[in-house]
Structure 1
Amino acid sequence: MADASKLRIAARATSSTVTRTQTARSFAPVPRAGNPASGTITPAGQVLRVLRRVGPATRSELSRHTGFSLSAVNRIVGELLGRSLLRDRPELAAGGMVGRPQIPLDLNTDAYFTVGVHVAGNEMRCVAGNLRGQVLDCLEFDAPATAHAALPVVASALHRYRLSYPTRCALWVGVVGDGRAERRAGGARRFGWDDVPDAAWAAAIPAPVTVTPHVDAMAETELWALELAGRPSPSSYLYLHVDEPFGAAWIVDGRIPAPGRGPGTIGHLATGSDVPCPCGRVGCLEVT
C-alpha cells in the first residue's frame, strides 16, 4: 500500500468524526480533545490542532492563533506537557528571546502511537502512526466477516505495536469500515458490522476506540489535508464518494456533524429496482 494511503488511514485514528467512544480498562491518561456527542473541540484540542497545522509555536503565538488569553494557554500547555503530548523546543527559540512564553512548543511525536483500522472488501489494514500522522508501521489481514471477529484481530495488532514500540503509549484506536455507523447499534450496518456493544470493544481493546463510517472518515481526512497544506476550504459543503461504498458526508462550519445530526446515507435511497441490498431491502442506490 502506498505511503499516502497508509497516512490517510492512520490519520483517521485521531481526526475521524466520532461515532462512539468507549473508555477502556487501561490506556494513556490524556485530556479529551472533544465531546463526541456534540462534535465540539476542547481548548486543549484546539491547541493541538494549531501545532499540528503550523508546527512549533510559542505560547504567545498559540494565544494569537487560538484567541485564548496567555494565562489560559499556559494552563492548557501545562496540562499537555504533563501528559507528554507536547514538548519544549528551546533550541528553536529566536535569538535574543528569553522567558517561557518565547520557548517554542511542539507535538511530542515520540511518546504515543495511534492505530488506524481500515476494513474494506476482503482486506483489513492496521496502521500505527504518531501524533503528526506519520506512519510507523502497517499490518494487513484478511477482512473478518463480522465486527465481533475483528475484535481479536485489532487487539492482536495493538499488542504487536506495543511490543514494537515499548516506550510509547497507545493513545487511541480509530476503526473505519464501509457502511454507516448507527449510534444505537454501536457499529456500521454493513458487512456484519452491527450490534457490537461498547462493552465488547472495552473488553477486547485496551485503549479508547472510535468507530466511524468510511465516507465520513474520508471527508474528515480531506479537511485535515487542506488544513495541513494551509489551503482554505469552504466552510460548508457536501462530500460525495461515488465508488464502493457509495455515500456522502456533510461538512458544516468546517466540521462533520455529530452522529444523528448528519444527512444520513444516500446509498439506501430507493431507486425502484428489484436488486436486493444487504440492509434487507431492495432497490437501494448503492446496489443498483
Structure 2
Amino acid sequence: MRESGPSPTGPTAGTALLLRLVRDGRPRTRAELAAESGLARSTVAERLDTLLDSGLLCHTDKGPSTGGRPPSLYAFNPGARVVLAADIGATHLTAALTDLSGEVLAEENVSLDVAAGPDVVLEELCRLGGALLDRADRARGDLMGIGIGLPGPVEHRSGRPTNPPIMPGWDGFDVPGFVGGRLGAVTLVDNDVNIMALGEHRAHWAEAEHMIYVKVATGIGSGLIAGGRLHRGSQGVAGDMGHVRLPHGAELPCRCGNVGCLEAVAGGSALARRLTEMGSPVRTSGEVAALARGGSVAALTLVRQAGRDIGEVLATAVSFFNPSVIVIGGALSLAGEHLIAGVREVVYQRSLPLATRDLRIVQSRAGERAGIHGAALMVVEHALGPAHAESPVPEGLPVPIR
C-alpha cells in the first residue's frame, strides 16, 4: 500500500513524515531526516524527542564522524508496541501477536465455524488475544490496536459486516465495539481478502502499482491494489468476484441467494461436494487440495476446470483493470500448479495481448500468513498515519472508527 507523503506543515504531519522515513529500516542522522523531510532542524529535533519518548524511535550506533563528534543515528523501534491480528475464515480463526514491522511474536490457530455467530467467534478471539499477550509477556497497554479480517462484505468505516452470505447473525454487528471494548484497543475490521491483498502486496509486490489478489478457498473473492493502494470501492465490496454469474453456471444455487455464481461452480465447497458425489468424500477446500497433490485424477480435473472458470471472470477484470500481477492464494491454491495453469490458460487466451504482455499470474508468496500480515499492517498504518502520529503513546490512541 503506497503511503502518500503528508504535507510537511503542522506537528502531526511532521511526526508522521519522520515515522514514514525511518520505517524503511535504515537508521538516519538528524541532518539526514531534516534534508529528506524538508522540515526545519528545530522541528525535526522536537518531533524526534516526541518519538523517542513514545519508544517508537530509538538511538542506534553512532554515524561516521566527519572530523568531530560522531552524529547520533535514529531508527524505528518495531518492538515498542504490539498488534493483535486476526484472520477469521469460514471454518477457522487465526490470531497472532505481531510487532510493528509485522513479525509474528506468538500465534494460535483454532477450528471454528463462523456460522456459530459473532458472540461465540469474537469471544474466542478475545480469549486468544489475552493468551497471546501473556505468552509474549506483553502488557495490555502495549497493544497498539487490533486488526480483523472477516469472510464477508464489511463496511470498513464502521467495521460492521453487511449481509454476509455465510455468516448468520453477523449482519450489522458492532465488531469493533465488542472486541475493542473487551481488549481496550482501537479495532479495525475489513473483508478477509482485502487484508490478504494488503499483506501480500506490501511483503512481496510493493513495486506493483496494480495488483489483484484472489483467494480461492471455501468461497472465492479478490482484493484490488490500485495505484499502490488498497481499493475498497464506495461501499467496501470491490473485488467480490465470487458472485459474478458464469454463463455455464446453469441453475446451481449459491449461498448468496442467486444461482450460477463463480463461487457455486468453482469454490472449494462446490468441488468438495462433487468429489464426495464421485466417491471421494472430502469436506473442505484444504482436503480437496490435498487430494489433488496426492494425484487423484478426479480432483486434478476439477481443480484445473475451476482455474478455467476463475480465469473467465479474471479475463474480464484484466480488460477493465489492467493489473501487472494476479496473485492466487487461499487453501485451494495449494493444489499445485493445476489451478493457476487453468487461470493462465483462459486469461492469456481471452485478454488483449497488450493487457497480458507483462502480466504475471503467480501463487501467493505470503501463503497462510497473508491475512495476518495485512491485518497488522492495517492497524499500524492507521495508528502511525498523519491523523494519529502526534499521539503514538497508548493513552493517545484513536478511538475505533464508527
TM-score normalized by structure 2?
A: 0.53
The residue that corresponds to 2:228 in the other structure is 254
Matched position secondary structure for 1:54: coil
2:127 corresponding residue in structure 1: 156
1:178 and 1:190 in contact (8 A); partners too: no
Amino acid across the alignment from 1:50: L
For the 8 Å contact 1:127–1:138, the answer to whether it is kept is: yes
The residue that corresponds to 2:76 in the other structure is: 107
Counterpart contact for 2:58–2:76, Cα < 8 Å: yes
Tell me, in whole angstroms, the C-alpha distance in 2 between the residues paired with 1:256 and 1:222.
Answer: 11
Q: Which residue of 2 aligns with 1:131?
A: 100
Shift of 1:210: 1.3
Change in CA separation of 1:66 and 1:249 when aligned onto 2, cut-off 3 Å? farther
Partner of 1:27: none
Cα 1:176–1:67 change in 2 (3 A) is farther
CA distance in structure 2 between the aligned counterparts of 1:270 and 1:214, rounded to whole angstroms? 22
1:269 aligns with 2:209: no
What is the CA distance between 1:134 and its match in structure 2?
A: 1.6
Verify the 8 A CA contact 1:107 1:132 in the aligned structure 2: no
Unmatched segments (≥5 aa) in structure 1: 1-14, 18-33, 35-40
In 2, the alpha carbon distance for the partners of 1:98 and 1:259 equals 55
In the alignment, the residues of structure 2 paired with residue 258 and residue 276 of structure 1 have an alpha-carbon distance, to the nearest angstrom, of 27
Residue 175 of structure 1 and its aligned partner are, at CA, apart by: 0.9
**Kindly tell me: are residues 226 and 264 of structure 1, through their superposed partners in 2, closer, same or farther at Cα, counting changes over 3 Å?**
closer
The one-letter code of the counterpart of 1:150 is V
Counterpart CA distance in 2 for 1:16 and 1:287 is 34
Distance 1:63 1:215, change over 3 A: farther
1:1-288 equivalences in 2 (<5 Å) = 44-89=15-60, 91-96=61-66, 102-145=71-114, 146-164=117-135, 165-166=137-138, 169-183=142-156, 186-187=160-161, 189-192=164-167, 193-197=170-174, 198-226=176-204, 233-235=207-209, 237-241=210-214, 243-244=216-217, 245-257=219-231, 260=234, 263-271=238-246, 273-288=250-265
Is the 1:16–1:220 Cα contact (8 Å) retained in structure 2?
A: no
Which blocks of at least 5 consecutive residues in structure 2 are unaligned?
A: 7-11, 266-402
| Alpha-carbon spacing, 1:241–1:70, altered in 2? closer, same or farther (3 Å) | farther
- Mapped to 1, the partners of 2:153 and 2:198 lie a distance apart of 15
The answer to which structure has the higher helix fraction is: 2
The total of aligned residue pairs comes to 245
2: CA distance, partners of 1:286 / 1:46: 43
Higher RCO (CA 8 Å, separation ≥ 6 residues):
1
Shift in alpha-carbon separation, 1:223–1:77, aligned structure 2, 3 A: farther
TM-score of the two chains, using structure 1 as the length reference: 0.71
> Which structure has the greater CA radius of gyration?
2
